[in-house]
Structure 1
Amino acid sequence: MLLRLFLLFTLIPLAELWLLLWFSSLTSPAVTFGLVVVTGILGATLARKQGAQAWKKIQTNLVQGQQPTGVVLDGVMILIAGAFLITPGIMTDMLGFALLIPRVRDLLKVHLGEWIRKRALMQVQSQTSFHSSHAGFQDFGGSHTTVKEEDIIDVEFVRKESSETD
């Protein structure tokens, strides 16, 4: 994990710097600087607008008694997009603008929802718990299994206190 973080925070900035220098050699330093500034301002503006829309959808879902799981993921991806867009660089800008496209976020939500389901299932299976809930995962998209009444097993455990005579 530490190695991944080290690579993330060293290799990506180095690649971004190399791309900016390469782009600057093709155009000019002024054009490269202008590109970084414009994408930062444009990206921050778009992320702020879409973030406000996501926040309103979250509030609407909560008022209507619906779980805003998918909308919360949209908000998180928009927040990440904004962070990528205000970070100087070509790769992060492309990734940030991609995350602002609703269709891209929808595709990512499906994959992220499946990943979360698998992780949650592994977590539940690794513990000695008999209760599992799919609550909150309805609107990720992808395949859903329908739980029928005959599939539900209701179990009650009673702990027997040990007596002093045992």
Structure 2
Amino acid sequence: MRLLLFLAFLVVPVLEIWLLIQVGSVIGGWTTVALLLADSLLGAWIVRREGRKAWAALRDGVAAGRIPDRELADGALIVAGGTLLLAPGFLTDIVGFALVLPFTRPFMRSLATWFFARRVKTLAASSPYANLGMPFPAGRPEGQEGPQSGKVVHGEVISEDRDA
């Protein structure tokens, strides 16, 4: 994961600069800057509109007494997309629009759900408590059977009376 982030912070800016130069050589420098400004303004408007919708859906879900998991995921995707839309460049804007637009957000939500579920399974498997069959170090409830670590010696406890 660290390597992926390192490469993202190294490769994405280089690709953005290369793409800006390519676009600028085709349509001109000032037109490229104007396109980036228009892109940012349009993105800010969409983020504001979709953010309000997501906030209203979140309030409605909480008021209805259910867990607003989809609404929270949509809110997180809108925040991430808005952050990417603030960064100058066309590649980050494409990903930002994919995260923010209402017709691409369900696909991005399922992609994020798949990624984070896979990540949680990996982290749970590498947990020091994974081999004990317990999700947390709190121990087992009484009467619960399961794999034990260490050798089990069955026996009987005899208490001796020291006074006698």
- 1:105-132 deviations in Å (ceiling 9; x for gaps): 2122223334434444555564345469
- Equivalent-residue separation in structure 1 for 2:34 and 2:141 (angstroms): 66
With over 3 angstroms needed to count, the CA separation of the structure-2 counterparts of 1:65 and 1:97, relative to structure 1, is same
Residue 46 in structure 1 maps to residue 46 in structure 2: yes
Residue 156 in structure 1 maps to residue 141 in structure 2: yes
RMSD over aligned CA atoms reads: 2.7
Gap regions ≥5 residues in structure 1: 133-154
Look up the match of 1:142. Answer: none
Q: TM-score normalised to the size of structure 2?
A: 0.72
Q: Greater shift after overlay, 26-35 or 99-108?
A: 99-108
With over 3 angstroms needed to count, the CA separation of the structure-2 counterparts of 1:54 and 1:129, relative to structure 1, is farther
**1:134-153 superposed matches below 5 A:** none
With over 3 angstroms needed to count, the CA separation of the structure-2 counterparts of 1:122 and 1:4, relative to structure 1, is closer
> Aligned pair count?
139
Greater RCO (CA < 8 Å, at least 6 residues apart): 1
Look up the match of 2:57. Answer: 57
- Equivalent-residue separation in structure 2 for 1:12 and 1:5 (angstroms): 10
Gap regions ≥5 residues in structure 2: 144-156, 160-164
Q: Greater shift after overlay, 49-58 or 123-132?
A: 123-132
Q: Percent identity, please.
A: 29
Query: Quick check: 1:39–1:86 contact (8 Å CA) kept in 2?
Result: no
State the 1:31 CA deviation. 0.2
State the 1:90 CA deviation. 1.0
For the residue of structure 1 that corresponds to 2:65, the secondary structure is coil
Larger Rg: 2
Q: TM-score normalised to the size of structure 1?
A: 0.71
